[in-house]
Chains A and B, each alone.
Chain A
Amino acid sequence: MNFSFLHEQWPTFLSAAWTTLQLSAVGVVLGTLLGVLFALMRISTFKPFKFFASAYIEVIRGTPLLVQILLIHYGLAEFINLPAFASGVVALTMNCAAYMAEVFRAGIQAIDKGQLEAARSLGMTRTMAMRHVVLPQAFRNMLPAIGNEFIIIIKDSSLVSVIGIGELLYRARILQGSLFLPLEPLIVVAVIYFVLTFTLSNLLQALERKLNKS
């Protein structure tokens, strides 16, 4: 094993890690917001919303993320010229939204019906009851599942290397070729991915502990 390239190449890995983080963070944040929307649509009584959300979730869950990334990148190129980074963000967001929607739906439906009834019986509107009574409780229950999805997105962001975004895996592949080292750059990025996800996982556990105290 020869890791001497790190001496010169560490800024490359650092900036690649930064790109990975940006991709995942934007994907997760937008995906979560969109996910809440899809979840509310899926449990709504308005049939067209319900149908659209269900169809969306099934299609996204039923097709590989790699295929989605390629489809979005080359498909959108027919209409607008998006930079690769934007295509990557769109693909990760759309994918994340589908899984988050299911996490949120399950979380909301797990809250006892009596909670909504108590809030409504006091005169609160449906929106108030959701926002102040149901969602805060659902969020606490959903935290482990949300954390899981965050971690999956960080790892799956490596798939956007196929459309040439300079994130961790893409840079490692380039170094493999230019340095004639098949293994070492991959080991380095594996370690970086693990550090990212492990840190996140610990942060989420700390947040859970904090919420459980109250």
Chain B
Amino acid sequence: MIKVEELHKSFGSNQVLKGINTTINKGEVVAVIGPSGSGKSTFLRCLNRLEEPTSGRIYFEEREVTGSQSELNQIRQRMGMVFQHFNLFPHMTVMENLLLAPTLLKKNNKASGQEFALELLRSVGLEDKQSAYPAKLSGGQKQRIAIARALAMQPTVMLFDEPTSALDPEMVGEVLDVMKKLAKDGMTMIIVTHEMGFAREVGDRLIFMDGGNIVEEGNPREIMANPQHPRTQDFLSKVL
């Protein structure tokens, strides 16, 4: 579904990604872990080109992400993204947040869009917040709305960039629960995270990154129980 070939990214003279190659299959839940500065967020942000790759190619459903801008806008409609800091639109209600992109980009009628948005709010447990402004919501609620907003475009893959890192500890669970449900429903997900328990429980594959490279990847349980590479061992010994 997503294919990454020789992805490089530099910020000035700082080489952040040094040739990433990987394939992500439909329905797969991939957790990306690694120390800070390992390039894991940059890798994720290159997948929908919020970060412009220095070189390399990325394909999504047979189309090239690294191609033209109009192609990219089409592709982005099919790739949802959830950010560490939610990035809800503060001047709009929850419902307006969900409906803005579908209204601008999809041709289907307004009533069905609204119905679908309500359904999404119900599935993240926030149906009663549809006319609230983001400022009135807790962090956990904001992130659940942000997930619903991404889902409103009916994406086929969801990218999560440290979705629980900005949350108070007691709110992490409610967001992870929504993500678990999404994984169970068969959504293809790529999650940059520090939640090792979640990665082990929900992930089909674990990617460990360090110094701009994929150092080790495979089944999360196996890697966590028996890491092969010394850097993986070192990292896991600190976080587990």
A136 CB contacts on chain B under 8 angstroms = 91
Q: Does residue A162 face the partner (Cβ distance < 8 Å to B)?
A: no
Per the bound structure, the CA–CA distance linking A137 and B79 in Å amounts to 25
Tell me whether B76 and A120 are in contact (CB under 8 A).
yes
| Most chain B C-beta atoms within 10 Å of own C-beta, residue among A114, A120, A121 | A121
On whether the beta carbons of B101 and A114 are closer than 8 Å, the reply is no
* Complex: chain B residue closest to A114, CB-CB: B87
Given A117-B50, A132-B100 in contact, is the A123-B87 Cβ separation under 8 Å? no
Q: Tell me the bound Cα distance from A119 to B87 in angstroms.
A: 9
Query: Which B residues are in CB contact (< 8 Å) with A124?
Result: 73, 101, 104-105
Number of interface residues of B (CB under 8 A): 27
The answer to whether A137 touches B81, judged by C-beta atoms less than 8 angstroms apart, is no
Do A114 and B77 have beta carbons less than 8 Å apart?
no
Cβ of B85 within 8 Å of any chain A Cβ, yes or no, is yes
Q: Tell me how far the C-beta of A139 lies from the nearest C-beta in chain B, rounded to whole angstroms.
A: 9
In which size bucket is the chain A interface?
A: 10 to 19
Q: Is B83 located at the chain interface by the 8 A CB criterion?
A: yes
Residue among B85, B90, B91, B149 making CB contact with A122, cutoff 8 Å: B149
Instruction: Please give the distance in Å from B220's CB to the nearest CB on chain A.
Output: 26
**C-alpha spacing A106/B90, complex, angstroms:** 19
Render B88-128 as a binary contact track against A, CB cut-off 8 A, 1 for contact: 11110000000011001100000000000000000000000
- State how many angstroms separate the Cβ of B196 from the closest Cβ of chain A: 26
Query: Quick check: A114 and B89 within 8 Å, CB to CB?
Result: no
Q: Which of B48-104 contact A (CB under 8 A)?
A: 48, 50, 73-81, 83, 85, 87-91, 100-101, 104
A188: min CB distance to chain B, Å:
44
A202 an interface residue at 8 Å Cβ cutoff?
no
Provide the residues of chain A in CB contact with B87, threshold 8 Å. Answer: 112, 114-115, 117-118
Check A120–B50 contact: CB distance below 8 A. yes
Determine how close the nearest CB of chain A comes to the CB of B159; give it in whole angstroms: 8
Q: Does B150 contact A (CB under 8 A)?
A: yes
A117 touches B83 (CB 8 A): yes
Give 25 pairs: A residue, B residue, CB < 8 Å, sorted on A.
A112-B85, A114-B83, A114-B85, A117-B83, A118-B83, A118-B88, A118-B146, A121-B48, A121-B80, A122-B105, A122-B150, A122-B153, A123-B73, A123-B76, A123-B77, A123-B153, A124-B101, A124-B105, A128-B104, A132-B100, A133-B89, A136-B91, A137-B91, A140-B91, A214-B133
Which of B's residues lie within 8 Å of A, judged by CB?
A: 48, 50, 73-81, 83, 85, 87-91, 100-101, 104-105, 133, 146, 149-150, 153
Known: A112-B87, A121-B50. 19 other contacts (CB 8 A): A112-B85, A114-B83, A114-B87, A115-B87, A117-B83, A117-B87, A118-B81, A118-B83, A118-B146, A121-B48, A121-B79, A121-B80, A121-B150, A122-B76, A122-B77, A122-B150, A123-B74, A123-B76, A133-B100
